[in-house]
Amino acid sequence: MATTDYHLAGHYAPVHDELTAYDLEITGSLPPELTGWYLRNGPNPRKENAHWFTGEGMIHGVRLERGRAAWYRNRWVRTESFEDQERVIYQADGTRNLRASAANTHVVNHAGRTLALVESSLPYEITNDLETVGAYDFGGELADSMTAHPKICPETGELHFFGYGSLTAPHVSYYRADAAGNLVVRQPIDVPGLTMMHDFALTRDHVVFFDLPVVFDYELVGRGMPYRWSDSYGARLGVLRRDDPAGGVRWFEVAPCYVFHTLNAHDAPDGRIVVHVVRYDQMFGESPDTPGQLWRWSIDLASGAVAEDRLDDRAGEFPRIDDRQAGLDTRFGYVAGSTKALMLDRLRRYDLHTGTSREHVFAPGQTIGEAVFVPAEDKPGGAGWLLTYVYDGATDRSDLVVLDAQDIAAAPVATVHLPARVPTGFHGNWLPES
């Protein structure tokens, strides 16, 4: 992912208009149980910018309603830096403007609030109709950035997250909000430098942090991504007990690498912590970046060793699970795969218990994004659907495609035809109607 202009052309190219369209055309049949909102975030720069990661956030949403596709909308997240586009986060005195935000990475719902996220800033609350409410700081309790990859514990309803980016120690802090949205835990995490900590992992008993060798470089500010690979920083995993957040982090060394995204993690019966991630050998270095591949880390708390196993040599990204099994021993994981650089064209279903996989290969010229699992039954890990936006280069249009998660190789269950192109973006979620 070197800094180039690829993000301004083709399936990455931004769109310029905010649209609303009603009663969308459907091929196939939408399951009536799919009643809610599918929202996905991603960069949509309003002027030429230096890197894909830095464009203004735009939410693309489809409202499904008992077998019909009621509407499609796309809206920029109107942060406090949206109009003047002077997104100066680091001030001259070393402090951060946490409301200067691209808000372009994820959209999640917790405690009745839908939040657009980017890891450098505070969350921005939006409505399910994609209108911006404003910056959200947990009632004045959060004076830090918030990761774009918070974890919701399916058993407690708690929201776990961290903030990073402070130029002075502590560079990273761990936070926890209860099921009602009240911030109840703040805990500094000791790391030696300002590492780019994009994601982390959660289990029933532990929080696992990734202290990896992509570090802040002030000389790169304003020139794209202000982070670079460091051959000297090292790589380690930090384990914190959920029942003792002030008890300190225990660190475990791993081979140098980088991870943008966690598939899942769980506590094994033998006491190990098992973490599945999409791992890169290098990122933002002088050599070309390596492809992401599915790996497993097994942290042995007794011996202090970490077993590192590559599970697939094929490239992939944007891993997701049935979120009702977050932090538990889920069997199935879903990863968008590629055979060509910068183009995801297939969706894989991994059986993490047997080590097998199946995939749905999209038509030539089609590009997919992250696929979100939507349950079809109350049993976690059971039947469900996968929702993803698919761009077709032949028509320069996009669809919302619905696949059967248990029969991923089959033809789509339904295809919702959208009135415009949805640029390749980052992450989103299904918000069921309550």
CA distance 320 to 51: 25
- Mean pLDDT of the region 408-414: 98
Q: Is the pLDDT of residue 4 over 60?
A: no
Q: Is 10 exposed, middle or buried (0-12, 13-18, 19+ CB in 10 A)?
A: middle
* Cα–Cα distance, 120 to 167 (Å, whole number): 12
| 6 pLDDT tier (thresholds 50, 70, 90) | confident
pLDDT bin (cut points 50, 70, 90) of residue 85 is low
198 annotated ligand-binding residue: yes
| pLDDT value at residue 380 | 86
CB 220 within 8 A of CB 230: no
- With bands split at pLDDT 50, 70 and 90, how would you rate the model's confidence at 405? very high
By CB atoms closer than 10 A (0-12, 13-18, 19+), residue 393 is middle
- The answer to whether 253 and 234 are in contact (CB under 8 A) is yes
Q: What is the mean pLDDT of the chain?
A: 94
Total-model pTM: 0.95
Tokens of 352: 């993490």
**2: pLDDT confidence band, cut at 50, 70 and 90?**
very low
- Mean pLDDT for 154-166 is 97
With H, G, I as helix, E, B as strand and everything else as coil, classify residue 227: strand
pLDDT (0 to 100) of residue 88: 77
| Predicted local distance difference test score (pLDDT) of residue 379 | 86
Query: Residue 368 to residues 111, 316, 407: CA-CA distances in angstroms?
Result: 30, 12, 18
- Separation between Cα atoms, residue 249 and residue 251, nearest integer Å: 6
124-126 and 132-135 as β-strands: parallel, antiparallel, unpaired?
antiparallel
266 among the known binding-site residues? no
One-letter amino acid identity for 185? V
Higher confidence at residue 343 or residue 402?
A: 402
Q: Is 60 annotated as a binding residue?
A: no
Is the pLDDT confidence value at 171 over 90?
yes
| Residues in CB range of 11: below 8 A, 6 or more apart | 343, 367, 391, 393, 421, 423, 424
| Residues 328-386: tens digit of each pLDDT | 999 999 999 998 777 899 999 999 999 999 999 999 999 999 999 999 988 888 899 99
Mean pLDDT along residues 195-211? 98
With a cut of 50, say whether residue 100 has pLDDT above it.
Answer: yes
CB-CB contact of 211 with 273 (8 Å): no
Residue bearing the bigger pLDDT, 346 or 218: 346
Backbone angles phi, psi at 8, to 5 degrees: -110, 10
Q: To the nearest whole percent, how much of the chain has pLDDT over 70?
A: 98
pLDDT tens by residue, 282-331: 999 988 778 999 999 999 999 999 999 999 999 999 999 999 999 999 99
Residue 417 annotated as binding site: no
All structural domains of the chain, each given as residue ranges with its CATH number in brackets, are 137-313 (2.40.128)
Mean pLDDT for 212-223 is: 86
For position 128, what pLDDT does the model report? 92
Q: Is the dihedral of CA 80, 84, 89, 95 positive or negative?
A: negative
Average pLDDT in the 198-210 region?
A: 98
Each residue's pLDDT tens digit, 15-24: 999 999 999 9
- Return the structure tokens found at 137: 């700081």
Look up residue 90 and give its two tokens. 């680091």
Residue whose entry in the numeric block shows the structure tokens 């890990």: 381
